[in-house]
Structure 1
Amino acid sequence: MFNDGGTLYNAGRDLNIFEEGERGLFALLQATSPAAAYDAGARYPPPLCHPGTRKAVLRDLDGWADRSTDNHSSIQWLYGPAGAGKSAIAQTFAQSCAENSMLIGSYFFWRSDSTRNNPQRLFTTIALQMAISIPELRPLINIAVLEDPLAITSSIEKQADALIIRLWLKSLINQVDSIRRERRRACVFIIDGLDECADSHDQESLLSILASIIHRCGDSIRILVCSRPEPRIKESFLGPELSDICRWMCLGDTFEASNDIRRFLVDGFRRILTRHSLSMQDILRPWPTSQQIEYLVQKSSGQFIYASTVLSYLDEDGDVPAERLKVVVGLSIDDYAGRDAPFAELDALYHQILSTVINQASMLRVLAARMVFNDESTSSTDSSRQFIQLLNIPLGSLHATFSSLHSLFKDPSPVESGFKFCHASFPDFLLDRRRSLHFHIKITSGHEYLAQCCLKQYNITQVPVALPDSTVYSRRNWCYHSLRARGTSIERTCDPVPILSTLCCALPSNCTVRRGLAVAACVPLSRGIGALGY
């Protein structure tokens, strides 16, 4: 019943695939995005899971696509942070489905490609793939386009209805016994990179249409959607249209990501040693050390993009891989000024994500504060709440500022996680001016901002009886942040004397810094800090 789903792109190169009278399919081809399919030449070489890795994820997807199992979730949402390897999983699963005659359509969004950064060509592309993959649909789709040529340029809602839903239902009514037996196999659509669809309203509309396809066509179709956990996408999956028919699949360490990355690195280093055997002949073995590998696994934070970027950097010609590894792990960095950036690919990803923020000044101020926030001064349960309170920024403003950065922070959102980073490599990027450029953050700026936030927590005229969490943090950490902000503008932006006097009264009589604060209240701030005995 099924042909190879990749035939579409031979069609783009050889129009003889269309028989006489198939002018509808030829017209449909003109409205598709040939670069969007899993086997498109424009995507070569496509991202793939490294051999032996991602077994748990792929096994789970195979089970979900099996219609013989008791599975009522016809839509699967595979989500995770930037660089987690979602596209590689989607690509590998697509190839597996094609080999097993289960794939009837795939579409890989890409922000930088105007033909596939919006949904206008999604359903026309899927419809042509279906015409090629499912023989009994071919004449139906051809006739549908001939009878309504405007369908291929109409709204995506009409495209889906005219070219997919109606024709799928018609084929189910007309199918013979042999086709019914074949249809017991899953019919899989794969849509990757939904967050790369530039307009969030289009993302919501598209998901609503996918829900309609499942509700009207039944469980004969399985749809895999892969994306970052952006707010609008998450809200749609939580909505009434999708919540009952969708299963969420988070790419966390539940699927042994760290073990897979370790294997990926070990195999990659082995390949590099073979390729660079001459330049590496004087390097002591074993290389790299187990400690270096574990360092890289930890820095990856479950995201393959970091490990992949490291291996690509080490594998470049013109240098000794062992020397480049020293750069990656932070050794002899000054010796490499002006050389190729080790993390160019990763840095480009971070730049692309951060560039979507409108209020970048506020974003960088909060990020700087989060990087210096003293988590050790309080329990992990209270730290997120204390940090949000300390900022004293309306929650609505925080959510709005960080609405496009969900992929960089832990679930459920940047604000709700207390701005805890997904990637251990992200702070390294922000602190290195050569990498982050205009997104560079100075640690002293973070301490200055939090020192000011701490001062603002105190009531200058009276000491409150019951102190909120943020004030408790302020009492414990104002000196800590002030000391580390020395040399910044805090001395010029705050009048410390009355506040220091109030702080002195607020502290318990046996507090070790009370005497120092009393002295500090009588002298300029920079000298008073020194009087505390630090």
Structure 2
Amino acid sequence: MKPNQNRSPEDHRHPSTESAQPQRGGFAEGPSALPTASYTRSPGEPATPLVGTAVHCTPTFFPNAREFRLDKLEYNHTEHHIHNGPKQSTRASEASEGWKMLVEKTAPNALYNSSARFDPPKCDEDTRLEVINEIMGWIQDRDAPTQILCMTGAAGSGKSALQQTVSERCASLGILAASFFFNAGDSTRNNVSRIVPTIAYQLGHKIPGLRQLIGLAVEDDPLIFDTVLKTQMEALIVGPVHHFLANNSSLSETLPFALLIDGLDECNCLLRGRTPFRIFLASRPEMAIYEALHEPGHLHNAAYHIRLSDDYDATGDIRRSVQRRLQELGLRRKLRKGWFSDSDVKAIVEAASGQYIYAATVTRYISEPRGSPAERLRAVLTWAPGDCQKAKAFASLDALYRNIVLNAQQAFDKTDEHGRDFLLLLRCIIWDISRPLCLQERVYLLDIEVILCDLRSLLDKKHDLLNIYHNSFQEFMADPERAGPVYVYPGRAIEYQLKCCLDRISKIPLEDFNKEYQQASRLSSLVARKRLYLSKDQFDLLEVCATVLVDMEKTRFLKESFAEMLVPFIANDGLDKIDKWFRAPEYGDPAPQFFYMLDDYAASRLHFYYWNWRNGYCSWLLSQLQDFAPELAIVVRKYDGLWNTWWQENAGPLFD
């Protein structure tokens, strides 16, 4: 059961945060009671957090203030402020050498409220309510059996927007301990080198007593930032937090506890009961995360898993977002009423296929200040693959696709021992998207998992077929301008596929087909024959390879080079095996019986490929071979006549 199915958000609210309200004017989050006052800070005075200030002496407010005015001051003293260690000022702690070193290693741009992330993507007011409530319910349920929530989803499914929204909600409740937002285009946050210092900084900034412990840890080991991630987490987060709580056990229930990280798998050391954090990870389902969450991965039983792309249908939310943004654009630009229609919105939503990034890219393009929004909308609805305007509009989406594919290529190249071309294999697999992956594996002698493992945010297996989350990825891969360094020329993919097919057919013993059909011919039931004969591994592989070979659109693409590839194939009896595919061995049964064993689709497909081969392909092949392999042209001519006679006498009447 999902955490919030039978609970309202209020049911999950921790007692210490029920009355917390968002702080204004840049104050740090927290449940402390604050006076209502305005003042001017003196030049150079640091902005210190109000949470955790020591209060075991007569309070002095704003000692360095100038031009000070105080209206309606209300002061409530409480004994349970967050503090620890020697009674030294916040500024003195902040100035410690260890703390200074930590600050230099942080990534300010990674914070949820960083100015570098101005106007970050977040959920519209009435969208993604179900998943937001589930996440917030889990975060606030301190008694839940798991300490980590991992939300995975396809590229562009709205993970970052959800994490931003949840970060803001946690901050408003005073429960946000720390957040970190990765970004591939920002060198300060496109790797894990700064994540631990940045999280430690946020914890110390909110809790001065903890700040002192973190600073001392850095001073004790100034090279801590050059150690592995687990060591850094233990020294700068787990150890100080554990020590702080050991000396301040009464404060454990009042500390901020929500820790939000955008796509990191190395958080296991924050668990095991040594820290109070509820950790929310948002990540694409790439190999490290995928393996960790599935049995026997270390997060399989330790994490609550939300599969964003599978568990939630975003269509309705995307429709509301597109509708609202177009309406707001119309009001802002004073456009005539009815400048867009419900059918326009529907077309955009259908094209988005559940991906927020597509809809957001389209509405951003329509909203650009130059040009007419109505004209841009019309253009979007009529774009075709290869349109230069489309390429410009989808530049950010294309950059996302390129980064994912290039990273997957690098990971593949590091581990592949056969020197294979990752991009070429990927292009071939996408090309034959309707082909069962188990057969593609046999054609390319490849474990498909090694290709998919780092691309699960773009494509995955579904019922042994390739599932591409969004059509725009296929368009991207087929467009040289958009794909750039990951583009593969179609001729290369076709040539490689044909070579693999020729090689597979050449290595299948001809006797295998005869044996399989003999077994099928002994069965009285035609359905049983079909199931046995057509499900045999060798015949399946032959069918795949043969259909590729007789696809004139592919083979004629290569022209003379393919004819040269066929020379050793024909010389080694390859056409004998093609013959077994075209006309099943009789063994006492009439040849038309074979067609009755096929369903309508399979029969019509065989008919189509036969006509491709017989009426167009053979004549072209003969003309090519006549020049450089005339002895093989005789073999082709022999089978050309054989198939023509066979078709006219047996199969032709069934299709006429």
TM-score, normalising length: structure 1? 0.79
Structure 1 counterpart of 2:456, from 403, 406, 416:
406
1:308 matched residue in structure 2: 360
2:329·2:367 contact (CA, 8 Å) conserved in 1? yes
Structure 2 counterpart of 1:262, from 296, 299, 319:
319
Structure 1 counterpart of 2:432, from 351, 370, 373:
373
2:478 matched residue in structure 1: 431
The 10-residue stretch of structure 1 (78-87 or 482-491) with the greater mean CA deviation from structure 2: 482-491
1:95 matched residue in structure 2: 168
Residue 579 (structure 2) pairs with residue 504 (structure 1): yes
Q: CA deviation at 1:455?
A: 4.3
SS at match of 1:406: coil
SS at match of 1:119: coil
Residue 260 (structure 2) pairs with residue 190 (structure 1): yes
Quote the Cα distance in structure 2 between the aligned partners of 1:21 and 1:505: 83
Quote the Cα distance in structure 2 between the aligned partners of 1:499 and 1:164: 66
SS at match of 2:402: helix
Quote the Cα distance in structure 2 between the aligned partners of 1:94 and 1:303: 21
Q: CA deviation at 1:37?
A: 1.3
Q: CA deviation at 1:297?
A: 2.2
1:109·1:116 contact (CA, 8 Å) conserved in 2? yes
Task: Write out per-residue CA displacement over residues 172-225 of structure 1, whole angstroms, 9 at most, x where no aligned residue.
Answer: 222264x35535xx611111133xxxxxxxx5xxx1xx222211415x221111
Structure 1 counterpart of 2:466, from 416, 419, 430:
419
Structure 1 counterpart of 2:340, from 264, 287, 300:
287
1:163 matched residue in structure 2: 236
Q: CA deviation at 1:472?
A: 5.7
Quote the Cα distance in structure 2 between the aligned partners of 1:288 and 1:48: 25
1:388 matched residue in structure 2: 441
2:458·2:469 contact (CA, 8 Å) conserved in 1? yes
Residue 300 (structure 2) pairs with residue 230 (structure 1): no
Q: CA deviation at 1:137?
A: 2.6
Change (3 A) 1:127 1:297: same
SS at match of 2:393: coil
1:387·1:470 contact (CA, 8 Å) conserved in 2? no
Q: Which of structures 1 and 2 has the bigger CA Rg? A: 2
TM-score, normalising length: structure 2? 0.66
Task: Write out per-residue CA displacement over residues 59-90 of structure 1, whole angstroms, 9 at most, x where no aligned residue.
Answer: 1111111235x511101111112222211111
The 10-residue stretch of structure 1 (317-326 or 258-267) with the greater mean CA deviation from structure 2: 317-326
2:230·2:269 contact (CA, 8 Å) conserved in 1? no
> Which residue type is aligned with residue 326 of structure 2?
F
Which of the pair has the greater relative contact order for Cα pairs under 8 Å at 6+ separation?
A: 1
Q: CA deviation at 1:307?
A: 0.8
- Can you give the 5+ residue segments of structure 1 that lack an aligned partner in the other structure? 195-202
Q: CA deviation at 1:317?
A: 2.6
Change (3 A) 1:45 1:387: same
SS at match of 1:387: helix
SS at match of 1:118: coil
Residue 397 (structure 2) pairs with residue 346 (structure 1): yes
SS at match of 1:104: strand
Quote the Cα distance in structure 2 between the aligned partners of 1:173 and 1:287: 61
1:491 matched residue in structure 2: 563
1:474 matched residue in structure 2: 544
Change (3 A) 1:75 1:176: closer
Change (3 A) 1:259 1:520: closer
Quote the Cα distance in structure 1 between the aligned partners of 2:545 and 2:215: 73
1:35 matched residue in structure 2: 109
Residue 306 (structure 2) pairs with residue 249 (structure 1): yes
Quote the Cα distance in structure 2 between the aligned partners of 1:276 and 1:515: 58
Q: CA deviation at 1:346?
A: 0.9
Structure 2 counterpart of 1:104, from 135, 152, 177:
177
2:385·2:475 contact (CA, 8 Å) conserved in 1? no
1:12-161 equivalence runs, <5 A: 15=46, 17=48, 18-24=90-96, 25-68=99-142, 70-146=143-219, 149-151=222-224, 154-161=227-234
The 10-residue stretch of structure 1 (448-457 or 418-427) with the greater mean CA deviation from structure 2: 448-457
Q: CA deviation at 1:348?
A: 1.4
SS at match of 1:76: strand
Q: CA deviation at 1:7?
A: 4.1
1:198 matched residue in structure 2: none
Quote the Cα distance in structure 1 between the aligned partners of 2:196 and 2:271: 14
Task: Write out per-residue CA displacement over residues 23-81 of structure 1, whole angstroms, 9 at most, x where no aligned residue.
Answer: 3333432232222211112222222112211111211111111235x511101111112
Change (3 A) 1:50 1:491: farther
SS at match of 1:39: coil
> Which residue type is aligned with residue 499 of structure 1?
G
Task: Write out per-residue CA displacement over residues 246-278 of structure 1, whole angstroms, 9 at most, x where no aligned residue.
Answer: 122111152231221111111122223334445
Q: CA deviation at 1:310?
A: 0.7
1:525 matched residue in structure 2: 621
Quote the Cα distance in structure 2 between the aligned partners of 1:501 and 1:251: 51
SS at match of 1:106: strand
Quote the Cα distance in structure 2 between the aligned partners of 1:526 and 1:257: 55
The 10-residue stretch of structure 1 (305-314 or 243-252) with the greater mean CA deviation from structure 2: 243-252
- Can you give the 5+ residue segments of structure 2 that lack an aligned partner in the other structure? 1-15, 30-40, 49-89, 414-419, 517-535, 585-590, 596-606, 624-635
Task: Write out per-residue CA displacement over residues 387-425 of structure 1, whole angstroms, 9 at most, x where no aligned residue.
Answer: 333x33232xx544554322211268xxx9643212221
2:552·2:612 contact (CA, 8 Å) conserved in 1? no
Quote the Cα distance in structure 2 between the aligned partners of 1:516 and 1:109: 52
Change (3 A) 1:14 1:367: farther
1:298·1:424 contact (CA, 8 Å) conserved in 2? no
1:323 matched residue in structure 2: 375
Q: CA deviation at 1:308?
A: 0.8
SS at match of 1:242: coil
Task: Write out per-residue CA displacement over residues 105-161 of structure 1, whole angstroms, 9 at most, x where no aligned residue.
Answer: 111223333332333332222222112223543443344445555545654334322
Quote the Cα distance in structure 2 between the aligned partners of 1:523 and 1:276: 63
1:457·1:474 contact (CA, 8 Å) conserved in 2? no
1:6·1:39 contact (CA, 8 Å) conserved in 2? no
Quote the Cα distance in structure 1 between the aligned partners of 2:111 and 2:352: 29
SS at match of 1:355: helix
Aligned residues: 495
> Which residue type is aligned with residue 424 of structure 2?
R
1:500·1:520 contact (CA, 8 Å) conserved in 2? no
Structure 1 counterpart of 2:421, from 353, 356, 362:
362
1:501·1:517 contact (CA, 8 Å) conserved in 2? no
Quote the Cα distance in structure 1 between the aligned partners of 2:547 and 2:91: 76
Q: CA RMSD in A?
A: 3.9
Q: CA deviation at 1:229?
A: 1.3
Change (3 A) 1:504 1:249: same
1:368·1:446 contact (CA, 8 Å) conserved in 2? yes
2:245 matched residue in structure 1: 172
Q: CA deviation at 1:440?
A: 3.9
